[in-house]
Structure 1
Amino acid sequence: MTSTTSQQGRHQGLGLWLALASAATFGSSGPFAKSLLVEGWSSGAIVLLRVSGATLVLAVPTVLALRGRWALVRAGAPGILAYGAVAVAGCQVAYFYAVQRLDVGVALLLEYLGVVLVVLVAWIRARRAPSGLTGLGVVLALLGLVLVLDLAGQSRPDLVGVAWGLVAATGLATFFILAAEESELPPVALAGLGMGAGAVILGLLGAAGVIPLHFGGGQVVLMGRHAPWWFAVGELALVAAAVAYLLGVTATRMLGATVASFVGLTEVLFAVVFAWLILGELPGLMQLGGGVCIVAGVAAVRVGELRRARETGATGLEEQTDFPLPAGVA
């Protein structure tokens, strides 16, 4: 029993490190995307190149992981398409539209209201209320959101940008819910195939004129210096997409959707730091206080889930997976 508990502890610890690494890599996307947006690129064009590049990066690992197991793709096709359409394409386009009108940190915090949706879906599907500490984490996260938006301050956020941020929140919740589902489909395959599906969907929508595709050129400004446009696109595709999504799916399967989604809130802090270093955007004291509340919310949820696991005697993913999704959803 002690050996099993120790093994579970190492499994959880590795999941936490992977979740933090995923949050850091995801957090780098906003500043690099904004450097392209100010040069005339459209959000759809940036996301299309980002997910297409990530698909190419993950193509070989995906094929290797699926050798002799292509039937898993057919069985998981609905989940893969939903992942690509909502969690990849929809979420990223909405977030970049929000970044056009809001500071990177504010846009990302709006997106992370999706974490609250994750908790609510877990409550409804499992027919049980979150633990007290999990509920406290939700309250602290919402308080942090209010502080970051500084609703009582002199400068009110752009309402259109806020609306796009809320659309992105729905996509984020979908990412955590689908990634947490127990499936024989390897994480790298879900990430790679989901990226491919997202790229195809974006390409079709762009060709039909539903999503504007405006590609720029020349240089972008990063850390006060000029850099070629392909450097920003390369970072978005390789680091902020391929690596970030792969780490995120792997961590979510280790930790479960609730814990992984709250650890993922640290992406906001990473994004604020990156926006400060790369773009010179620095939040005020009120917004920094909101960041502290969000970190406290992450800690509260983490402790609450561990306490519930001890009380119920659950082991492994039996307790960690919060979403009994229908068969065929991967």
Structure 2
Amino acid sequence: MRLVRNRPHILAPGAAAVSVLLWASAFVSIRSAGQAYSPGALALGRLAAGALALVVIWAVRREGLPPRSAWRGILLSGVLWFGFYMVVLNWGEQEVDAGTAALVVNVGPLLIALLGARLLGDPMPPRLLAGMAVSFAGAVTVGLSMSGEGGSSVLGVALCLLAAVAYAAGVVAQKPALGRASALQVTTFGCLVGAVACLPFTGQLVHEAAQAPLTATLNMVYLGVFPTALAFTTWAYALARTTASRMGATTYAVPALVVAMSWLVLGEVPGALTLVGGVLCLAGVAVSRSRARGGRTVRAAAGEPRPEKVS
């Protein structure tokens, strides 16, 4: 009986872990597919494949349309996270390696906390502010480390920072919608909204798909089915059962996974100064999540729910 009652507490972290692993692989696949597809075309192809898979599952499960109260969050997250984020990230990864992109985008969890405080009224403890400052210094260090390789690399870092902002805004917009609709509904229609937003790239996608090698197209389909359809659904499932800031914390492992995957698959390893900047980004996150004495008080001040008693 206790195992059944604890099931959500077991499944939610597992769902978050699936999202983290698949999103880490997405950075590598984007880098690979981006050699044949332009940023907008790759985003549209990925979203089209993901939307197709999600609509099939949604139809089989007969979950119906989300309630009207959930559509604001679905529309905002669809445009910002599914649409704009993917285009900008694809563009950024054409300028910097996969590991660097993951390190810079990883400031997103801190931005989630900042936006949550501004838009949702969540508190902003001093440790969070200090962590944001350290992570920003890390992002600047990464940018400086790439400056010797030309202006395009600096542009890539800037684009990845912009992607992090879109990711954070999408998560904050999605959270209220998950209180009114299911994870599958929010993900399916968010993906459809993102695909519609990317329709202006249809011509590029058709032209490039005719010339792209099969491996690049398969990478695009993989991005749609797994890091989009599956990973965004498992993310939404977990997000519906915890706070946005705590879910953001689960993505801290992404850069390390990406660096390992890009080294094994693409032969890309960030330089020493880039890694220093990445460590600063992660250190800032650690500072923001650290606890002073009296951990329960700190958790309450940070807006985290108290653990429930299980009888």
Corresponding residue of 1:77: 71
CA contact (8 A) 1:62 1:192 kept: yes
Structure having the higher helix fraction is 2
CA displacement at 1:195 relative to structure 2: 0.7
Moved more, 106-115 or 235-244: 106-115
Structure 2 vs 1, CA of residues 34 and 128 (structure 1 numbering), >3 Å: closer, same or farther? Answer: closer
Query: 1:53–1:234: 8 Å Cα contact kept in structure 2?
Result: yes
CA contact (8 A) 2:131 2:288 kept: yes
Distance 1:290 1:19, change over 3 A: farther
Is the contact made by 2:104 and 2:278 (CA closer than 8 Å) also made in structure 1? no
The reply on whether 1:117 has 2:111 as its aligned counterpart is yes
Asked whether the 8 Å contact 2:29–2:219 carries over to 1, the reply is: yes
CA-to-aligned-CA distance 1:77-133 (integer Å, 9 cap, x gap): 222221211110100000001111111222233333333322222222455643344
Secondary structure of the 1:120 match is helix
Question: Conserved in 1, the CA contact under 8 Å of 2:42 and 2:205?
Answer: no
**1:275, distance to aligned residue in structure 2 (A):** 1.5
Question: Contact 1:24–1:271 at 8 Å: present in 2 too?
Answer: no
Change (3 A) 1:164 1:255: same
1:100 alignment counterpart: 94
Within the alignment, does 1:44 sit opposite 2:40 as a pair?
A: yes
Output the CA distance in 1 between the equivalents of 2:31 and 2:50: 19
Matching residue of 1:267: 254
Q: Is the 8 A contact 2:43 2:86 kept in 1?
A: yes
Q: In the alignment, does 2:159 pair up with 1:172?
A: no
The answer to whether structure 1 residue 185 and structure 2 residue 181 are counterparts is yes
Q: 1:196 aligns with which of 188, 192, 195?
A: 192
Between 1:151-160 and 1:106-115, the stretch displaced more is 151-160
Cα 1:57–1:31 change in 2 (3 A) is same
**C-alpha separation in 2, matches of 1:124 and 1:174:** 11
Alignment counterpart, residue 13 of structure 2, candidates 3, 13, 16 = 16
- 1:26 is the counterpart of 2:23: yes
1:229 and 2:216 are equivalent in the alignment: yes
Q: Structure 1: 5+ residue runs without aligned partners?
A: 221-226, 318-330
Give per-residue Cα distances to partners, 1:146-175, cap 9 Å, x unaligned.
444454974466333233223212210122
Structure-2-length-normalised TM-score: 0.81
Equivalent residues of 2:179, 2:240 under 8 A apart? no
1:243 matched to which residue of 2? 230
Query: TM-score under structure 1 normalisation?
Result: 0.77
Structure 2, unpaired ranges of 5+:
none
Partner of 2:273: 286
- 1:230-281: CA deviation from partner (whole Å, max 9, x where unpaired): 3212211111111111122122222311121132132222222222122111
Matched, 1:89 2:83: yes
**Which moves more between the two structures, 238-247 or 76-85?**
76-85
Identity of aligned residues (%): 23
Counterpart-to-counterpart distance in 2, 1:11 and 1:156: 48
The answer to which of 107-116 and 254-263 deviates more is 107-116
